[in-house]
Structures are given as structure tokens and as C-alpha cells.
A = this chain, B = another copy of it.
Amino acid sequence: MGEAVEGREAVDLLERTRVVVNPRLRTTVESLPGSIRRVAMYHFGWEHADGTPAAGQAGKAIRPALVLAATGALGGDPDDALRAAAAVELVHNFTLLHDDVIDEDATRRHRPTAWTVFGTPDAIIVGDALLALALRLLAEDGHPAAPAASARLASCVIELCAGQQADCAFEQRGPQEVSLDECLDMAMAKTGALLGCACSLGALYAGAGPEEVAALDAFGREAGLAFQLIDDLIGIWGDPGRTGKPAGADLASHKKSLPVVAALTSGTPAAAELAELYRGPMGAAAVRRAAGAVDRAGGRDWAQIHAADRMARAVDQLSRAVPDLKAAGDLLALAEFVTRRSR
């Protein structure tokens, strides 16, 4: 099967996921009290700021797709896991709302972020409400897996918080004061944890045992780290039309992303050049020079090779829970898809 076909498979799968999950997600969000609902409907792209309907898309639905694909891969009925899929997507959106406030990001999915439209208080409050909504969805689920899924999702949120906190703390430190291991731990907490949680919840809803659940969690985490590495490469070199993130954006904001930290800690002359650039203001010319320095210091190659390595580990983990990988086709297609976005 060629790459284009594999990519197509994931695109179709995400579309099918949105068809089944988005109506439930939307019904759940519409159950919020009016004032909060309005901000949430805007954030998900279902309404404009003035409350009129918008045709926007709520997100690619990668995490819900992982939940449903994991349930299916372990012999369960994905329909049983629809609440869990919606809950994971609500948690993802809770983090987006709060991270945008904390990072002062002005754009999300090609639109002004909620805090820029409704103010910081509303964005904090609506993030809180989405988190509570996610945990209520699971608490109200009668499925025998629901209590364990609730506990895992709540633990995951705590890990996401630790990841976001570490990310903020790194910003306060000098260019060469963050180690690559710290940076990898942070990315695992901030990105890997929720993808792992999505897969493990899917496994729980298939009635899987602790070892299978742990293997699915590890699969999602490793794939999540590969995803983050690719996302960090996009934050330096890639493709604003497709991702909504302008090239060089991470460099302009002095972000200590994984390729940047790999470059900064490489001990090369280009590392010193990059550190010097990161100590000053980052105009367009400095951003171009910094991108070149990351490349020459080996940060770009390292990130691409490390992403491939993490994907191999992900597949290894998956094969522990699903020995016949044909049953895990959807999970593999999704993992390939998220690490293929920059091409």
C-alpha cells in the first residue's frame, strides 16, 4: 500500500470519527449554561463571536479517533466508547483554551483565540467548564470501564498540567539551561500523555486487561512524542497554509522546542550562534538565521530521526497488545498520519 493511500485511509477515518463524535460533542457543549456555552461554541468553531452559526470544524478529531480505533483493535465495539472519545476531545479543548491564555497565543485554527475575543476571565472559566464536562460525561456513563477511565483521564489532566507548567518554566530559563531530557519529559507530559490516555481509554472500553491497557498507553505516548517532534519541525520550517502556524513562529517566540534544544545542546559552533540569537529580539532576519543554525547544529536531522525512532517504539508497544497488527490498522494509520503532516 502506497503512502498516499495510507494517508487517505487516516483522512477517511478522521472524517468518519467526526461524523459520529462531533454531534455528541456538540450536544454536550450545548448543555452548558448560556453565557459559558457561547464562548465554547465559538472556540469549537460552531458559532461566530456574535453567536451566529459558523461552518467551522471543531478540530481534526485525532484523539477521539484513537479512542475508537483502540477499542476496535482490542475487539470491542467502538460505539461503546463514544462518550470516552468525546471526553478526551473536551479535555484537549480545555488545554487549548488555558494554554492560549497562558502563552498569550492570538490565533487558533485560523481564528482569533477565545481570550482575545471574550477576555481572559471567560477563557479560563470556559476551560474549567469543559474539563468538568469531560469528567461528567464519563461519570454519567454506565459502562463498567467508566470509573477506571475517569481515574485515568483525571490523572492525565494532572500530567498535562505538569507539562504545561514545565513548558512555562523553561521559557524563564536561558537558551542553554534546559537539557534535552527535560525537554523530552515535558513533551511527553504535554502531548504524549493525552494521546496515550486516548488509546488506553479505548482499550478499557474494549474490556482489555492491565497489560494491554498499559501497552496501548505506551503506543499513544510514543506516537505522541513523534507527533510533537514533527509539530516542532513545522513550527520552524513548515507550512502555514496547512497548519495555521506560520513558519518560524516558534523561533520568533524564543520557544525551546525539541529541535531547538537538541541544537542548543549539540556543542557545535552553530549551537553558540543559536544561543546568541535566542538572547536577543527575534525579527524576521534573526528567525531565518536561527532556522539555519538549528539545521547546521543537527537539530533538524535529530528531530526527524528521533521521530522515526519513537514511531518504531510505538509500533513495538502496539504489537504487545495486538499481536496480529492487521487488527490495529486504524491505529497505525492514525499514528502515521500525525507524524506525516509536514510532508
Contact = CB atoms under 8 A, between A and B. Distances in A.
A121 B139 contact: no
A301 interface: no
Contacts of A127: 128
Interface in A122-173: 122, 124-129, 131-133, 135-136, 138-140, 146-148, 150-151, 154-155, 157-159, 161-162, 164-166, 168-169
Nearest to A169: B35
A102 interface: yes
Most B CB within 10 A of own CB, among A32, A122, A126, A148? A122
Given A98-B124, A136-B155, A139-B151, A35 B131 contact: no
Contact of A126 (B94, B120, B148, B161): B161
A101 interface: yes
Contact of A101 (B94, B124, B166): B124
A280 interface: no
Most B CB within 10 A of own CB, among A136, A164, A169? A136
A128 B98 contact: yes
Contacts of A129: 157-158, 161-162
A102 B128 contact: no
7 contacts: A36-B162, A125-B164, A126-B161, A128-B161, A131-B132, A132-B154, A139-B154
Interface of A: 32-33, 35-36, 94, 98, 101-102, 119-122, 124-129, 131-133, 135-136, 138-140, 146-148, 150-151, 154-155, 157-159, 161-162, 164-166, 168-169
